[in-house]
């Protein structure tokens, strides 16, 4: 059983993933409430105190890592991504969102950073769900080598193994040419 660990920060090429804290509640809520971005997300409470409470619960939870995606240039917050639900050597990732103004390369670089970090922790596979109708995100994951392994009324279930992850890290290495550097595990 491999464990998901929080890291204070992970730096890539143009992006930094920073461990989410209570002070990020406003940014996260704004993003999750943005009608341009939330059509395919599970609904969250619109109350700031609920978001803060969720982040306090997250801080105490040793089994997930929730990051704010930031621009390395100016530190501006660009989005969120989360690793959770480890099963054996497979991890789930999601809560993946970018602000509408994020640079086009942020999606692919943040995905590569998540996979690199997870392989470094010892994971050998990933699983995740995408809501039906979220066609661009389905295409994104399928281009990365994820396979459809099931579906229900609401969601399509995907899995990706270490071979496909490594092939994508190689194929897209121009988006993460120096790999990642990580801060201390929390
Ligand atoms: C999920 C999310 C973060 C993905 O970001 P995105 O910017 O929409 O991702 P895209 O698939 O459009 O990719 C961004 C760019 O990278 C390019 N790209 C994507 N995959 C690529 C690949 N494999 N190789 C090369 N370029 C690629 C795209 O062409 C696109 O460039 P363009 O804008 O010039 O066309 C974003 O859509 C979002 O916040 N969505 C709302 C929340 C959501 O649905 N989250 C998913 C929950 S499962």
pLDDT by residue (tens digit) across 121-175? 999 999 999 999 999 999 999 999 999 999 999 999 999 999 999 999 999 999 9
Q: What is the pLDDT of residue 1?
A: 87
Atom nearest to 37 CA in ligand 1: 41
Longest pairwise C-alpha distance within the chain: 42
Q: What is the pLDDT of residue 97?
A: 97
For 34-58, the DSSP string reads -TTT-TTS----S-HHHHHHHHHHH
Question: How is the chain split into domains, by residue range?
Answer: 9-182
Residue of the CA atom closest to atom 46 of ligand 1 = 96
pLDDT by residue (tens digit) across 27-60? 999 999 998 888 888 888 999 999 999 999 999 9
C-alpha span between 170 and 69 (Å, rounded): 22
- Domain 9-182, architecture per CATH: 3-Layer(aba) Sandwich (3.40)
Distance 1 CA to ligand 1 centre (A): 31
C-alpha span between 59 and 79 (Å, rounded): 18
Pocket test for ligand 1, best of 104, 106, 127, 164 (most atoms within 8 A of CB): 104
Residue of the CA atom closest to atom 9 of ligand 1 = 107
If you search the block for the tokens 């109708």, which residue do you land on? 133
Distance 103 CA to ligand 1 centre (A): 10
If you search the block for the tokens 């930094």, which residue do you land on? 16
Pocket test for ligand 1, best of 96, 135, 174 (most atoms within 8 A of CB): 96
Atom nearest to 168 CA in ligand 1: 23
Q: What is the pLDDT of residue 177?
A: 97
Q: What is the pLDDT of residue 44?
A: 87
pLDDT by residue (tens digit) across 72-124? 999 999 999 999 999 999 999 999 999 999 999 999 999 999 999 999 999 99
Contact by Cβ (8 Å): 98, 78: yes
C-alpha span between 92 and 76 (Å, rounded): 26
Distance 28 CA to ligand 1 centre (A): 19
Q: What is the pLDDT of residue 54?
A: 97
Distance 140 CA to ligand 1 centre (A): 6
Question: Encoding tokens for residue 21?
Answer: 């804290």
Q: Are strands 65-71 and 9-11 parallel, antiparallel or unpaired?
A: unpaired
Q: What is the pLDDT of residue 43?
A: 84
Mean pLDDT, all residues of the chain: 96
Q: What is the pLDDT of residue 108?
A: 98
Contact by Cβ (8 Å): 29, 99: no
**Percentage of the residues of the chain whose pLDDT score is greater than 90:** 94
């Amino acid at each position: 059983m491999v464990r998901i660990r929080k890291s204070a920060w992970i730096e890539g090429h143009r992006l930094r993933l920073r461990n989410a804290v209570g002070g990020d509640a406003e940014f996260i809520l704004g993003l999750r409430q943005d009608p341009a971005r939330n059509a395919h997300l599970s609904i969250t409470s619109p109350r700031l105190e609920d978001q803060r409470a969720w982040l306090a619960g997250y801080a105490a939870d040793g089994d997930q890592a929730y990051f704010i995606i930031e621009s390395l240039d100016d530190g501006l917050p660009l989005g969120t991504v989360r690793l959770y639900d480890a099963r054996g050597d497979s991890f789930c990732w999601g809560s993946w969102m970018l602000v509408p103004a994020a640079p086009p390369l942020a999606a692919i670089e943040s995905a590569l950073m998540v996979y690199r970090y997870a392989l470094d922790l010892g994971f050998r596979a990933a699983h995740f769900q995408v809501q039906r109708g979220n066609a661009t995100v389905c295409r994104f994951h399928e281009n990365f080598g994820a396979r459809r392994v099931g579906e229900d009324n609401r969601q399509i279930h995907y899995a990706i193994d270490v071979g496909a992850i490594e092939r994508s890290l190689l194929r897209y290495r121009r988006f993460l040419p120096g790999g990642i550097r990580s801060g201390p595990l929390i």
